[in-house]
Chains A and B, each alone.
Chain A
């Protein structure tokens, strides 16, 4: 650990060089802006900006994407507070107290609270990342094919259950993703499969195709079908009042943000769970443990601090399984994982051995990105709030054109572009029918790992499936997967990715924005 801290401090001068710092600043600003615009998410921003990272060195690419991530999770709080339209589902709970506080003439204090709480949550999530990820990677080095197989199955079941109100639909999406992963050459003997006569498919379906298709084109189609509510207009914010939050934060104390950050980190580390769940649980817990729960929803500081600290702590938590196991913790880390794979970096237990020179700068960049988020959040929010209220008729043509051109740049041929647009259309149909899209992407990413390790396990056991239950770790993981499946199958919950955020806010007993949003979670 001391060695890691030394390496991190050693990488700081490089990160503070004008070029890298400028790149991180751009990433944070873009993340905040995209996160603030209702319906757009950090996932979409990263999907569209992926081609820009291809020519960057791996560290710069990682640092840029993580900066967008940190800004994106915070940005949604801006419109949640100013116009009661959350920029992302993870900021729905922030609107419950943030908007009333703004209506009381204390918008700057509300925004300041959101910014500082996001900073505290993000930093604590980063500390957890530093402490836990290397240990999990060390443990995972002992995993062999049966354990890896069982872990992937657990992750896929968890994502399928969390991402949808129907476990069956979640599993269908997962299986579709796994089926897409079988297109191309078999990973063990190299036999061509499901290429349908198109030579372009011999190499399989690329991650970029699905990332841009499912997270940009699908979103374009969804947004074009949502009736846009004209926001009332952000109130005039004054920069000199941005530090009005400080007395309120001192009154709240550190206990609540720390507790919320712990919730956020733990939730973020669970595959499939994400910032919206973390924010909801943290708000609920804050209300439950408060001496005055009846004041929640009237514009109190605790109602902003709890969800914002939690949803930003998810950043660190979600990176834990992604870096140490190669299993994404949420949609954004799934897209970041695809970016790493494109760069030739393979997250997982061996990452810390083989690419150790990336880890320290990445961890340090994480903290620098949060410092930048705090700076820009407190300094630029009055102007960012105005930019966030942009008409869909201006935004969507830009998003659509960038998505198509990005597909052209990443694929290099018209077949790839058509495949991207086609996957976007299919993604739209699936999402309208209530099938989640994140499991499809995870199926594509984890499919080759699952198949390779499944076949190796059966080779080792000479065809006996009992190998998965004879090994203790594998058995435990499979039992947990079954337990998750039973739990999700029996639990009835409101949809998390249906158009609009009525489901999540209905749980809190209040409707934050009718007919708005519908963006993929996070």
Chain B
């Protein structure tokens, strides 16, 4: 059920390019667990491409999304709780942008695009920071009982 509800947020319009939709993947990771986070990323990129009318973006946004969520999973399960959620988010966002750029350059045979990498990394830091803060605020703001109940209901009903 939660999965159905979670389908709606991914339909992000322009302006959300800064990766705000990552908020939902990170939230999913924390609240629901790694597997659900991966599913959220897959669905988000797929629907995102379909609804903005650019299926061509699917290739690199999905690969970037997957790689970055896997990186977050690795970080959360290895380094956390030693580092903050925000740090995880920053790294994840940077990785996401860089992978996106690399895959894009390879597909369009445009090595000239690589020159954007540094700027994308910086943007990733900023975006990651914002996402991290937002996630922290949501997790703190939403009552614990609600969050736990979502988890339980999800586990109980399966997918």
**Chains A and B form a bound pair:** no
On A, residues with C-beta under 8 Å from B are none
Give me the interface of B with A, judged by CB distance under 8 Å: none
